[in-house]
């Protein structure tokens, strides 16, 4: 929850400049407080429930951009027009950008918190040392079967040979 925005919202909408002398003024003030609290609940509290798969970086802007994308996807599937498809694609790119930015900000704040804490800095150093020592894994490519051989090939060099024969065969 964005506490700064919440406190600013409360300062604007709940200014207590005049005193509450009679019961009607007090009742009006209570009704106003209730309305403001209802607005705060709608504006600042997430409507999603937490789950085992919830991500730490996920915030309200991510939720809203995904929901808008789903609405555009429904519109595109029902209307099936080029304009609806273009809107969907454009908003999908926007969604990816928003989620990437929130992930980046979350990762940077976590790294900052780790570097500030005295006990955590050693965990951070250990993580950095281990990550730098790990070799980068090559992307996995599924096993291939040559047409004249019955078994599947799992060796990388054999896979290259099969792909070269299939796609770059010589006409000689």
Looking at every residue in the chain, the average pLDDT score rounds to 78
pLDDT of 99 reads 94
Q: Are 113 and 120 in contact (CB under 8 A)?
A: yes
159 and 141 Cβ atoms separated by less than 8 Å: yes
Please name the residues in contact with 56: beta carbons below 8 A apart, sequence gap of 6 or more. Answer: 106
Q: Which region among 22-36, 59-73, 129-143 has the lowest average model confidence (pLDDT)?
A: 129-143
Does residue 142 have a pLDDT over 80? no
DSSP state of 150: S
What was the pLDDT predicted at 95?
96
């Amino acid at each position: 929850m964005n506490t700064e925005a919440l406190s600013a919202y409360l300062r604007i909408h709940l200014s207590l400049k005049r005193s509450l002398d009679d019961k009607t003024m007090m009742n009006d003030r209570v009704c106003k407080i209730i309305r403001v609290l209802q607005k705060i609940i709608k504006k600042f509290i997430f409507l999603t429930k937490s789950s085992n798969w919830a991500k730490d970086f996920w915030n309200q802007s991510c939720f809203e951009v995904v929901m808008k994308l789903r609405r555009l996807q429904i519109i595109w599937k029902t209307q099936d027009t080029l304009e609806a498809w273009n809107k969907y694609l454009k908003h999908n790119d926007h969604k990816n950008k928003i989620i990437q930015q929130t992930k980046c900000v979350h990762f940077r704040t976590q790294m900052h918190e780790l570097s500030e804490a005295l006990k955590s800095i050693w965990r951070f150093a250990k993580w950095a040392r281990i990550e730098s020592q790990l070799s980068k894994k090559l992307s996995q490519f599924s096993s291939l079967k040559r047409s004249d051989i019955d078994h599947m090939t799992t060796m990388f060099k054999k896979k290259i040979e099969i792909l070269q024969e299939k796609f770059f065969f010589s006409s000689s």
